[in-house]
Amino acid sequence: MARGQIFKERHKLGGVGKAVGKLRNFIIEPFIPHDQSDEAYVCIYSHRHGDTILFTHEGGVDIGDVEAKAFKLDLAIEEVPSEEQIKEKLLTHVDSSRKERAATFIKALYDQYVDLYFTYLEINPLVITAKDIYILDLAAKLDATAEFMCKAKWGDIDYPPPFGRDALAEEAFIADLDAKSGASLKLTILNEKGRIWTMVAGGGASVIYSDTICELGGASELANYGEYSGAPSEQQTYEYAKTILTLMTKEKHPNGKVPNLSHLFSHTKRMCIDIGYKFCSRCQYVLSIKILIIGGGIANFTNVAATFKGIVRALQQYQAKLVDGKVSIFVRRAGPNYQEGLRYVFFLCN
C-alpha cells in the first residue's frame, strides 16, 4: 500500500508557499508503538559562545514553544558535559527508571555532535520507553567548512537544493572548483530566466549588491547569488566568469528590454565615469535585454588585475553572444592593481 502511494505521488508537483517542486525522496520507517508520555524533545545548537542543549519531556507535533518550556544546558567552547550535569540540568522531570539511559544517550549524542562538526541537531520526538530509545524524526545541519577534516567520517554527503529549485550542473561545477581551491567560489542560481546577473568579489559585497538590487525593485529579475574571493587565480576567475556567462547567454529573454531598471545603476554609472572610463555612458543600458554587474568591495590582498584578466578572457570568448543578447556590463572594483584591471575592461570595450 505504501509503495503504491509513493509511486503515485512521486514526481508530482507540490507547493510549499510560493515554492513549487517535485516530490522525489520519501522515507519509509517502521511504526514504533508508544504512548504520548514516552515522547521527548532534544536539540543542540551552536553559537558564538559555545553550544546549548535543550530538553523537554514533552515532544511531538504539538510541543509548542520549546524555548519557553525546555530545560537548558549551556556549554562553553570545548567544555564537555558529564552525565551528572545532564541529569541535574535537563532531566528533572524524567522518570528515574529512564533517567540514566536518557543521560547516557544525550552525552553520546553531544559527543557525536562535536566530533562530526554539526552546527544544529534536533530530535522530535525522541521516544524513551522502559527498555529502549528511538529517534523518530531528526533534522541537522553540518558545518560545510569542516569537510576537509570530516570527509572520511561523513562519507558521500549531498547538499540538496531547496525545495522548488533543481540543482544545476553549473552550480555543482563551481562547488567542485571551490572545494579544490584555497579561494572562495560560490554560485547559486535564483532565477535562470532573470535579467540581472552579478559577478561580485567578496562575501560581504555580494550580500550588499543583492540586497540593494532587491530593495530597488529588481528582486524578480535577479538571476544569481554568489561571490569569488580569497585571491583566486586568473584561471579560477576565468572558469567562474565563463560559467556565469554560459548561463546568462543560454537563451534570449522574450520580453525585450529591461523595464524601469535604469535607477538601479545611476550610482554605478557615476562612479564608472569618475574613474575616467566611459563604459556606462556608451552602454545604453535602458535598451538592454540583460545586465551584468561586475563589482565588489575594496580588495585587501586580491590582485584585481589578475582576476580581471580571467573575467576579460571569458568576456572575449562570449563577445558575440553578449552583443547579440544586448547585454550591458557595469563595472565597479577597487583594490591592489585595480587601475590595471579596469584598463583591461576598457580595452575590451573598445
Q: What is the mean pLDDT of the chain?
A: 83
Mean pLDDT, residues 80-103: 92
Region 56-74 average pLDDT: 86
Whether the pLDDT of residue 278 is over 60: the answer is no
C-alpha cell at 54: 535543550
- What pLDDT is recorded for position 12? 73
Q: How far apart are CA 102 and CA 100, in angstroms?
A: 5
- Range in 227-241, 249-263, 326-340 with the lowest mean pLDDT: 249-263
Comparing 64 with 99, the larger pLDDT belongs to 99
- Model confidence at 269: pLDDT above 70: no
Fold category of 31-154 in CATH: D-amino Acid Aminotransferase; Chain A, domain 1 (3.30.470)
In this prediction, residues 250-276 reach a mean pLDDT of 49
Cβ atoms of residues 67 and 51 within 8 Å: no
Mean pLDDT of 37-57: 94
pLDDT at position 199: 92
Residue whose C-alpha cell is 559562545: 49
The conformational region for residue 122 under phi > 0 = left, psi -120 to 50 = alpha, else beta, is beta
**Domain 169-349 class, CATH top level:** alpha beta
> Across residues 18-44, what is the average pLDDT?
84
Q: What is the mean pLDDT of residues 170-192?
A: 89
User: Are the beta carbons of 260 and 222 closer than 8 angstroms?
Assistant: no
Q: Identify any residues that bridge with 22 across adjacent strands, giving them in sequence order.
A: 13
Sorted by where each begins, the domain ranges of the chain are 31-154, 169-349
User: What distances in angstroms separate CA 176 from CA 60, 70, 146, 228, 311, one per listed residue?
Assistant: 39, 41, 15, 14, 19
Residue 248: its pLDDT value, please?
92
User: What pLDDT, in 10s, does the model give residues 114-168?
Assistant: 999 999 999 999 999 888 999 999 999 999 888 888 989 998 887 777 776 777 8
Instruction: Work out the pLDDT band at 281, boundaries 50, 70, 90.
Output: very low
* pLDDT top residue among 68 and 262: 68
pTM tops 0.75, yes or no: no
